Amino acid sequence: MTASQRLPQELIREKRDGGVLEVAAIRQLVDGISDGGLSDAQVGAFAMAVFLNGMTDAETVALTEAIRDSGQVLAWRDLDLPGPILDKHSTGGVGDLVSLVLGPWVAACGGFVPMVSGRGLGHTGGTLDKLESIPGYDIAPSRPRFRQLVKAAGVAIIGQTTDLAPADKRLYAIRDVTATVESLPLIVSSILGKKLACGLDALVMDVKTGSGAFMPTYEASVELAATIAKVASRAGTRTTALLTDMSQPLAPCAGNAIEIRETLRLLTGETKSGRLLQVTRELAAELLLAGRLADSREAAMARLDETLASGAAAERFARMVAGLGGPADLLEYPDRHLAQAPVVRAVYPERAGRVQRMDTRALGLAVVTLGGRRTPDDAIDPAVGLAQIAAIGDSVDAERPLAWIHARSEMDADRAAARLLAAIRVGMESVTVPTLIQDVIRREAS
């Protein structure tokens, strides 16, 4: 501790008593989190002080920037890339495989997407878990390999490295065991600290609302979206946040290898419509606009449609997979490489009608019970999950099932079927399908 620094306990006391910390104080605390200068007890006390008293916008920006700068911040200028560095982040959900489609799609339009993703959390599926269902895919390449693949393919989706925002890794682990996860400044700085360490020119956030969302209420989701856009922009990155519906799975499926198959169907043009395509197209268009790759929404949409129809987006995905050790012929022969469950069973409704509503979180937990991750050390069965899930408003009966279960055993399928029937309400009433894109918040970098 230098002569100009204060005792950590005095900084924690100041925040505990409702004070506003200066930038230097926040950086001192974050330095102590990352280098071990603060004990676990002190980190927990700081997190609780923020949880109870909140932070001003300026404090949240300072915390985000300090977490970003706690490790190496990626720089791309030396690679002389002919386009902007762009990325997307989602607050998570069920059947949310947007990243897998958006990354190569934006790359095909001239962007460069160094996407650092995470694993599943609770009922939500993780992008890394999905990619690891591809044999040989390396989620932890060396930094030179990662950088060169971004240059060559335009996209690389990997896991967080040890030198990328290390303060966040420790702070999050302590938040998880001190009941301080649900703090807006801590959530925002955690998300953005990692993302902005990737040296982005622009970011788009997909903030979910509904029964499968991370935030408990619509109002909380709106506040999170607005805060992320504001803080990221004040930290120097053009940011757009979309508020999107998660009152039902985004794709008509959930499960790791199953979602990779759906990714390939969309990229190769087999899937031509649906909620997943609509959300991904809107998010990608926002990135093209923010990255100055299109001068109007219409031009962005036209460029996206062109690269999808031509196969250019699919080719970028294939190049990324092969470049990270996966099979070169995944697009052509997915069943050769992706695991398939031995038990596949349709679940029919107890009575005919229309799907009225869903407990999307319960559907995600059904996938977890089939073979997902219950603890951080659990192995995941990539083959299991749900497919052809009926959407809100769909007619279901003895011929049209609620979904198809992919399970390892008949007993697992029985348990999942019971959860599925309890999670989906079927009735004869007319249904209003929830609006998919509920709000858009744009912020220029300041």
Which CATH number is 16's domain given? 1.20.970.10
| Within a domain: 421 | yes
pLDDT tens track, the chain, 446 positions: 665 789 999 999 999 999 999 999 999 999 999 999 999 999 999 999 999 999 999 999 999 999 999 999 999 999 999 999 999 999 888 999 999 999 999 999 999 999 988 765 556 668 999 999 999 999 999 999 999 999 999 999 999 888 889 999 899 889 988 989 889 999 999 999 999 999 999 999 999 999 888 787 899 999 999 999 999 999 999 999 999 999 999 999 999 999 999 999 999 999 999 999 999 999 999 999 999 999 999 999 999 999 999 999 999 999 999 999 999 999 999 999 999 999 999 999 999 999 999 999 999 999 988 986 555 556 789 999 999 999 999 999 999 999 999 999 999 999 999 999 999 999 999 999 999 999 999 887 76
The Cα–Cα gap between 267 and 307 comes to: 10
Active-site residue 190, yes or no?
yes
Are 259 and 305 within one domain? yes
Are 285 and 161 within one domain? yes
Residue tagged active-site, from 70, 99, 127, 161: 127
Residue tagged active-site, from 119, 147, 175, 361: 175
Q: What is the pLDDT of residue 199?
A: 94
| Within a domain: 273 | yes
Query: How many domains are contained in the chain?
Result: 3
Q: Which of 261, 281, 267 is nearest to 312 (CA)?
A: 267
DSSP result, 94-119: SS--HHHHHHHHHHHTT-BEEEEE--
Residue tagged active-site, from 123, 194, 275, 281: 194
Are 36 and 151 within one domain? no
| Within a domain: 72 | no
Residue tagged active-site, from 27, 119, 123, 195: 195
| Within a domain: 129 | yes
What b/e readout covers 242-260, taking b as 16+ CB neighbours within 10 angstroms?
bbbbbbbbbbbbbbbbbbb
| Within a domain: 432 | no
Angstrom distances, CA of residue 399 to CA of 223, 348, 363, 396, 402? 43, 8, 21, 7, 10
CATH of the domain at 393: 3.90.1170.30
Angstrom distances, CA of residue 421 to CA of 349, 374, 416? 7, 22, 9
Q: What is the pLDDT of residue 92?
A: 83
Is-contact 321 338, C-beta < 8 A?
no
Are 297 and 165 within one domain? yes
| Within a domain: 61 | no
State the Cα torsion 8-13-15-17 to the nearest 10°. Answer: -170
Is-contact 90 206, C-beta < 8 A?
yes
Are 234 and 348 within one domain? no
Q: Which of 95, 120, 123 is nearest to 362 (CA)?
A: 123
Active-site residue 208, yes or no?
no
Residue tagged active-site, from 68, 88, 119, 275: 88
| Within a domain: 132 | yes
Is-contact 127 139, C-beta < 8 A?
no
Residue tagged active-site, from 189, 190, 209, 247: 190
| Within a domain: 202 | yes
Active-site residue 87, yes or no?
yes
Backbone phi, psi, residue 290, to 5°: -65, -30
* Residue carrying structure tokens 């299991």: 384
Are 349 and 400 within one domain? yes
Are 165 and 264 within one domain? yes
Mention every residue, 6+ apart, whose C-beta is less than 8 A from residue 283.
88, 98, 102, 204, 206, 242
Active-site residue 90, yes or no?
yes
Q: Identify any residues that bridge with 181 across adjacent strands, giving them in sequence order.
A: none
Active-site residue 175, yes or no?
yes
CATH of the domain at 127: 3.40.1030.10
Are 147 and 278 within one domain? yes
Are 130 and 116 within one domain? yes
Structural domain of 275: 77-333+437-443
Are 164 and 234 within one domain? yes
Q: What is the pLDDT of residue 108?
A: 98
Is-contact 244 209, C-beta < 8 A?
yes
Read off the tokens for 348: 């029919």
The Cα–Cα gap between 300 and 294 comes to: 5
Q: What is the pLDDT of residue 182?
A: 84
Are 235 and 348 within one domain? no
Are 395 and 249 within one domain? no
